[in-house]
Amino acid sequence: MKITIDNKEIEVEGKKTILEVAREKEIFIPSLCDHPRLAPFTGCRLCIVEVKGTRGYPPSCGTYVEDGMEVRTKTPKLQKLRRQILELILSEHPNACLICSEKDKCDEYKSTIRKVGETTGCVLCSNNGRCELQDVVEALNIKEVSLPSLYRNFEIRKDDPFFDRNYNLCILCGRCVRICHEVRGASTISFVYRGTEAVVSTVLDRNLLDSGCQFCGACVDVCPTGALAERAVRPEGLADKTVKTICPLCSLGCELKIELKGGRILRSVPSAEGPVNQGQACVKGRFTISDLVYSPQRIVKPLIKKKGRLEEVNWEEALDFVARKLRKYKSNELAVISSSQATNEENYLFQKFAQQGLKTKNIDNTARYSPLACYWEWAQEKVLSPRLNFRIKDISQAKTILLLGADLTISHPVLGLSVIEAVKNGAKLIIVDPREICLNRYSSQWLRIKPGTDFYFLNSLSKILLDEEQSKETSKIKGFESFKKSLDEIEMTKCSEITGISEEDLKTTSRIMLDDGPAVFLFGLGLTQHPSAKDNLTALWNLSLLRKAQLYPLSLEHNGRGELEIRRSFREGLDFKQISQAVNKKIIKALYLAGPFPLLEKKKPEFLVIQDSFVNENMKLADAILPGTTFAETEGTCINLEGRIQKLHRVIEPSGEAKPDWWIISQLAQNMGYQGFSHKSPFQILKEMKKTVPAFAGISNALLDNGKEIFIQEGKEEKGKFIPLEYKRPPSKVRKEFPFLMLIDYNLDYYRGLNLSKEIKGMRIIRDSRWIKINPEDAEELKLNDGEEVEFGSGSKRVKGVAKLSDAIPRGIILASFLFNEKPEFSVSRLSSGLNPDDYPLKMLPVKIYRGK
């Protein structure tokens, strides 16, 4: 269709508002409440226009173009009305600086005043220079405000982590409320009261922390004024440089814009162009990056043990020392632990160093326990080659979503948004989790399953589906008959008893399952961190064939998928657990740690090298410590959980003498005299990988730079087949002496050696890694108070925690954070290291709670 705006003829396609079209054509229409991610609000009334044949002044943000429309955006009448409306806004907003004749000359030095609590003018406002109100005042050329001030004198809310809320600066554009509701699905904030008292607030005006806020910061990012201000950068002013890179704090790979001032990171904001996150981030990506990079826990100099003490040395000496020591060991006495938070190039080099240099196959890392790696390992065993790549955007198009054992809002927050979007588009969400998770409010069905009984649940569901509907296509799939036969062994009543899910709920679930439309099964650690993980996967696989659903395994760490792809192209020796056992048994004598590892305590190997960016507990035992950089100081590529390969950009110079991991490994390898480690940059490594790692075929630095979406290569997907089921012992019962089952809250709150939910204040407030979540009724029986220190464990193995009462936790269960980098007395990992991990996986350890002091 054709329309004219200010006599300019414009061709328009699709459903668009006048404002959208005007923006595309760079025709400026002032507006304050509109936002590209949000539905039209039409509250600020600044974007009003004249449309021929239409009465009054329709707002361009809420008026969709129609063929032949004649729009005028700048008639004197409009401009006058806009100015009057803007004056009304300014009469509520501190405006002295906005209209001050000296505003251009006002000096920088006033920025220190920003530290004062009250904002009475722009120079005192943290948003100075970013403020959209300033832009509009400028555009409409407001020189004075003739109306008396209506300063509202709200108390500034400073009682939440990360940001302050000063509603005296709020213009009630509602963007924060709308993004919280429409995009984030949290609906933490809302408008309250009417008339001049109208303000944005929470239920009963509690603080955000107590109102279910996830602190994703989306509200701060959309706020056009300084009403919502990130506390850490309040006094800092504007950035002078912005670098885009990929967030390393979960496997989604959100693109962040890191803002710098004088070479120092100010803050990180989600990039609107980010293909994965499209302007969204989570609390970690939004608020912890600069604290992480500049953490006092950083190691910035190499250290080696001299006469029993760690001493700072230069790199040459450190590398010489490590090379000399490592040369002493036979290949089967050596093991390397890498990190799936490192880049592809670094992981490749770790592998190459271990396998071709040290000649050991004993290299692994924690990513082995991710649902993705479990799934892949299971598929190998079953001789299946399922696709691992998927598209997040397919989730928002799904009609049925089954979410098993993952609290996405915490573990993969931005992925959770796609689930919410799907539900808003009419999808039915089924959640299978013993915990009440954030997404529950969007679910059609929440099946509060007894931990560890997924196998029974999934098979019961398959059985009902088969009983109710059996399409010809399914019965043609290989292995159908034997699968069907194996299902016959199931007794439904017994299954209800085992899983705790009523037959009625199962029926309802099956009815949802039988709906048409694309289905997606997402599964997390709840399904796979378990002795019967592989049986669970078989059951889920069969169910997915029945329902023609896509299986989406949730990778955990930043580059878990990349690490897996690289590992697949090398040989494998001892795995993570076996290495740990071999260390304990002193079979492994030299250990090279570049990633998380259980506390060694008294089991120190003869020679221990730790390469990390942050101090960690095992370092006390180390013979050499090599300071690696963080993601912000290095470059390279990484692969997110979808299989999307993205590029990390160097944001700042390395801190102190820290060096990127790839540099450390290549230098060490060269020092040891190995060939093939003379890379000058990560991209030279990538070039080599292109030939040696199949998934990287065709991927080049140049390709990554041209901004296209690139997914790694996958082998051909073979047709699926049903796998017959094998029934094993039912899950272990709770023993009297250990009445609680401990579940692990694997929330990925760490980066390399840094425990975010302990070392970063705001994170500690919202989810302290030392919290032991427990049902309030259980707590009452134990006479436990919220915040009380407790001891828990089984027998002589005990660790400490802080009781956190939570209705989300079912009775008889406690939920503990699992971090290798916790102090020994708080380290949950200690509970299991002595036990045979196959008996009691970390996820379901029977424990007892001993009261604190």
Partner 1 sequence: MKSRISLEKFEEIRAKILKERETEKTCITICGGTGCHAYGCLKVARSFEEEVKSENLQESVDVRITGCHGFCERGPIVVIQPEGIFYQRVELKDVKEIILETIVNKKIIPRLLYVDPRTEEKIVLEKEVPFYKKQERIVFGNNGFLDPADIKDYIALGGYQAISKVLFDMTSEKVIEEIKKSGLRGRGGAGFLTGKKWEVCREVSSDGKYIICNADEGDPGAYMDRSLLEGNPHSVIEGMVIGAYAIGASEGFIYVRREYPLAVKNITIALEQARAYGLLGDSILGSEFHFKIHVVQGAGAFVSGEESALMASIEGRRAFPKQRPPYPAQEGLWGKPTNINNVETWANVPYIIKNGADWFSNIGTEKSKGTKIFSLVGKINNTGLVEVPMGMTLREIIFDIGGGIKDNKKFKAVQTGGPSGGCIPASMLDLPIDFERLTEVGSMMGSGGMIVMDENTCMVDVARYFLEFTQEESCGKCVPCRVGTKQIVDVLTRITKGKGEKGDIEKLKELSNTVKTGSLCGLGGTAPNPVLTTINYFRDEYEAHIERKSCPAFVCKDLIAYYIEPEKCVGCLLCLKSCPTEAIRGERKKVHVIDQELCIKCGACFDVCPPKVMAVSKVTGRKKERLLKKVSSARAKR
Q: How far apart are CA 292 and CA 231, in angstroms?
A: 16
Q: Which stretch binds partner 1 (CB under 8 A): 52-60, 376-384, 410-418, 701-709?
A: 52-60
**Under rule CB under 8 A, residue 62 binds partner 1:** yes
- Work out whether strand 199-201 and strand 163-165 pair parallel, antiparallel, or are unpaired: unpaired
CA 827 to chain centre: 23
Between 171 and 392, CB nearer to partner 1 = 171
Between 148 and 308, CB nearer to partner 1 = 148
Q: Which stretch binds partner 1 (CB under 8 A): 147-155, 279-287, 375-383, 825-833?
A: 147-155
**Under rule CB under 8 A, residue 196 binds partner 1:** yes
Between 101 and 196, CB nearer to partner 1 = 196
Q: Which stretch binds partner 1 (CB under 8 A): 167-175, 427-435, 442-450, 752-760?
A: 167-175
Q: Which stretch binds partner 1 (CB under 8 A): 195-203, 322-330, 347-355, 537-545?
A: 195-203
**Under rule CB under 8 A, residue 294 binds partner 1:** no
Between 84 and 482, CB nearer to partner 1 = 84
Between 364 and 421, CB nearer to partner 1 = 421
Is residue 129 classed exposed, middle or buried when 0-12, 13-18 and 19+ CB atoms within 10 A define those classes?
exposed
Q: How far apart are CA 256 and CA 269, in angstroms?
A: 6
Identity of residue 370: S
> What are the structure tokens assigned to 734, written together?
């709770």
Residue numbers 76-105 binding partner 1 by CB under 8 A: 81, 84-85, 88-89, 91-92
**Under rule CB under 8 A, residue 175 binds partner 1:** no
Q: Nearest-CA neighbor of 448 among 461, 437, 432?
A: 432
| Closest CB 48 distance from partner 1, rounded Å | 7
Between 58 and 812, CB nearer to partner 1 = 58
Strand (E) positions, 144-248? 163-165, 190-192, 199-201, 228-230, 241-246
| Closest CB 119 distance from partner 1, rounded Å | 19
Among 63, 277, 355, 370, indicate the residue that binds partner 1 (CB under 8 A). 63
**Under rule CB under 8 A, residue 198 binds partner 1:** yes
Please answer whether residues 731 and 453 qualify as being in contact, where contact means their C-beta atoms are separated by less than 8 angstroms: yes
Partner residues linked to 814 by β-bridges: 742, 774
| Closest CB 563 distance from partner 1, rounded Å | 46
Among 4, 58, 724, 730, indicate the residue that binds partner 1 (CB under 8 A). 58
Q: Nearest-CA neighbor of 258 among 292, 213, 214?
A: 292
| Closest CB 403 distance from partner 1, rounded Å | 25
**Under rule CB under 8 A, residue 154 binds partner 1:** no
Between 222 and 402, CB nearer to partner 1 = 222
**Under rule CB under 8 A, residue 191 binds partner 1:** yes
| Closest CB 40 distance from partner 1, rounded Å | 7
Between 194 and 736, CB nearer to partner 1 = 194
**Under rule CB under 8 A, residue 56 binds partner 1:** yes
**Under rule CB under 8 A, residue 682 binds partner 1:** no
Identity of residue 525: L
Strand (E) positions, 613-704? 624-627, 636-639, 645-648
Please answer whether residues 395 and 422 qualify as being in contact, where contact means their C-beta atoms are separated by less than 8 angstroms: yes
Residue numbers 22-51 binding partner 1 by CB under 8 A: 40-45, 48
Q: How far apart are CA 142 and CA 577, in angstroms?
A: 68
Among 15, 105, 143, 194, indicate the residue that binds partner 1 (CB under 8 A). 194
**Under rule CB under 8 A, residue 426 binds partner 1:** no
Among 30, 94, 161, 174, indicate the residue that binds partner 1 (CB under 8 A). 174
**Which 8-state DSSP code applies to residue 173?**
-
Among 19, 98, 145, 171, indicate the residue that binds partner 1 (CB under 8 A). 171
**Under rule CB under 8 A, residue 670 binds partner 1:** no
**Under rule CB under 8 A, residue 14 binds partner 1:** no
Q: How far apart are CA 844 and CA 405, in angstroms?
A: 13
Q: How far apart are CA 440 and CA 426, in angstroms?
A: 15
**Which 8-state DSSP code applies to residue 593?**
E
Among 59, 94, 526, 553, indicate the residue that binds partner 1 (CB under 8 A). 59
Please answer whether residues 448 and 810 qualify as being in contact, where contact means their C-beta atoms are separated by less than 8 angstroms: yes
| Closest CB 436 distance from partner 1, rounded Å | 22
Between 83 and 103, CB nearer to partner 1 = 83
Between 81 and 232, CB nearer to partner 1 = 81
Between 197 and 488, CB nearer to partner 1 = 197
The 3-state DSSP class for residue 190 equals strand
Helix (H), strand (E) at residue 776: helix 776-781
Q: Which stretch binds partner 1 (CB under 8 A): 58-66, 237-245, 717-725, 823-831?
A: 58-66
Q: Nearest-CA neighbor of 754 among 253, 297, 412?
A: 297
124: CB partners within 8 A, 6+ apart: 97, 110, 113, 114, 116, 118
Between 168 and 499, CB nearer to partner 1 = 168
Alpha helix positions (H), 35-109: 76-92
Q: Which stretch binds partner 1 (CB under 8 A): 187-195, 209-217, 632-640, 724-732?
A: 187-195
> What are the structure tokens assigned to 808, written together?
């989300």
Q: Nearest-CA neighbor of 570 among 346, 326, 331, 360?
A: 360
Between 142 and 490, CB nearer to partner 1 = 142
Residue matched to tokens 């670094």: 346
Between 44 and 447, CB nearer to partner 1 = 44
Alpha helix positions (H), 425-559: 454-468, 472-476, 480-488, 492-499, 503-513, 525-528, 533-547
Please answer whether residues 462 and 435 qualify as being in contact, where contact means their C-beta atoms are separated by less than 8 angstroms: no
Residue matched to tokens 């045979």: 836
**Under rule CB under 8 A, residue 53 binds partner 1:** no
Number of residues in contact with partner 1 under rule CB under 8 A: 33
Between 44 and 710, CB nearer to partner 1 = 44
> What are the structure tokens assigned to 780, written together?
């009452």
| Closest CB 79 distance from partner 1, rounded Å | 13
Cα–Cα distance list, 130 to 44, 86, 226, 229, 611 (Å): 19, 18, 9, 11, 40
Between 67 and 838, CB nearer to partner 1 = 67
| Closest CB 194 distance from partner 1, rounded Å | 6
Please answer whether residues 207 and 160 qualify as being in contact, where contact means their C-beta atoms are separated by less than 8 angstroms: yes
Q: Nearest-CA neighbor of 668 among 313, 312, 311, 316?
A: 316
What is the contact surface with partner 1 in residues (CB under 8 A)?
Answer: 40-45, 48, 56-59, 62-63, 81, 84-85, 88-89, 91-92, 147-148, 150, 171-172, 174, 190-191, 193-196, 198
